Chain A
Amino acid sequence: MIELHNVSKSFGDTLAVDDISFTVPKGRFCALVGTSGCGKSTTLRMINRLTAHGGGEITLDGQVVAAYNPVQLRRRIGYVIQDTGLFPHWSVARNIGTVPRLLKWPVDQIRERVEELMQFLDLPVDAFAHKYPHQLSGGQAQRVGVARALAADPDILLMDEPFGALDPITREKLQSMLARLQARLHKTVVLVTHDMDEALRLADHLVVMRDGKIVQQGSPLALLQKPANDFVDSLLGGLERGLKQASLTRVRDHMAPLGPTLPAQSRVPDTYTLRQALSVMLRDHCERVTVVDKSDVPVGELSLRKLVKEAHAEQGHGRES
């Protein structure tokens, strides 16, 4: 559990972070969102003491971070940064094993852990273990970065715009990888991003920051339903807000049982979001789609009318499993 109470930080005369408070319960995913220079990275770096905080108090599992030895503290916290920060003179395997080596694990255990993580992150050991960072694509390099952060199995994961430098397709892939990972590992994650879609997709709790202050925080749905002001509204995409909200819930939570009428021609899997279902309707010029399960068996149907009515009501939580 990470708690920030009235935390401030100033660099010289400028107040970078101004009296912010938020809590990330154990196993939850929190995203700090805002435009560049709003103090979100500084906030993140104060948690693992890469930057010392000014006023206020930051606690991890009830203990103030200022009381920890910073080196020991950081070894307990996974840390991923935008430029991957891989050590260019070390092979992939050695990079991933950094923290276990710092913690003086036995060599065999390190190797085992590295291989396990590489498998887990879809990096075949034979092909990648001995490669150097410059031989990797952006996506591969960042997967190594994530593996390195997870190496010593920390409870807490801090990610500073991890996918900011990647192309949209790779970013999309890594986001779903991270979602899968989180569904399995249940780390306490703080993610800094300027990409609202990324935050909506991954986080349970959003903290929107501007000029060092928190403008609004809450669940994705809460923000989408009631943006506190125009700034949050514009971050959420303004007119696109409705669509983004529709992308938070899945078809299977809203479909109706199969009716007596002939099933519709267009089919959508039940794992699709309402937004994707709507897109299918627009594409196929129809008002009704048949919902199918994994093995392509019809299990229900969804009409445009129902979709429009329900997209706003529910707080579905079936994201990305």
Chain B
Amino acid sequence: MPLVMTMDVRNVNIAVVDLDHSTTSNRIISHIEASEYLSLVGTTEQYIVAMDALENGTVDIIVQIPNNFERDMIVSTPEKINITANAVNATKGSLGSQYLVQTIARALQELKNEKSPTQLSELVTVQNRFNPTLNYRHYMIPALMIILFILICGFLPALSIVGEKESGTIEQINVTPVSRMTFILSKLIPYWLIGLFVLTIAMIVARVVYGLYPVGSIGLIYFGAACFILTISGFSLTIANFSETMQQTMFVMFFFVMIFMLMSGLLTPIDSMPNWAQKFTGILPPRYFVEILRSVYLKGSTFMDLWHNYLALGIFATIFNILAALTYKKQA
């Protein structure tokens, strides 16, 4: 999954319209060829040809190097290099052009350094903390773990209880002296165990396959997971209590799960949401677990840094489970 769910842009197809035919333009082209993210489709002298290819979709970005670029660069300010990007896929368009700009800048810098090797210093340095290579997978893996939790501990217990309602077996159980609490717990405990087991497997896979291991304490992760499991299973139980059929449960769960997935910062950062939406995420339990998991995994945060998230999950777990107990009618 993390291999597929990635925002890293690769294989950006580039066409170069080289009107200059100089050492500089050749250097730029060879840099593009060498780049791991960009792939050179071809060079041409006619912009219109490249534009056709862009429209056909065989090319994502066109680079036009103006005539006499090299000469003008030495004597005065040259005409600017023109980059045309297909932005139907906005991510690919914007990230691709950024990669391209960096590649061209590096090529020009290299040429400059060759001519006057004294100026070696770079002006800007960027240091990415906690995820130094900006690997999108490291951002996604904790999110995928949470999605698994939502599915296993959110959907399945609700479906299994409503399934008994549908088949009528719940009636037969209800006339036995088995208490409701025992019945509910017997429905939940297997999924709690499965949830923690899946978390363990997911952490092992993340370590072995993707080389990602938590910087912080594993205990904190399990503690957060336990709080989250209680929350989400209490939530699903409440929904199961209100529904008569599997279909009802599915539709209601889907409604909430969609909101959870899209608004809890699983896929897109909460900070980039509009202000009202950021406030709204406060009532979404997964939001807190997302923060816990990412901080512990990538930053190595401690309990003192995250205690308010645990508190929030604890409050949600209490509310939902009390609600579930109240709505669970002992007798219809």
Same complex origin of A and B: no
Q: Which residues of A contact B (CB under 8 A)?
A: none
Q: Which residues of B contact A (CB under 8 A)?
A: none
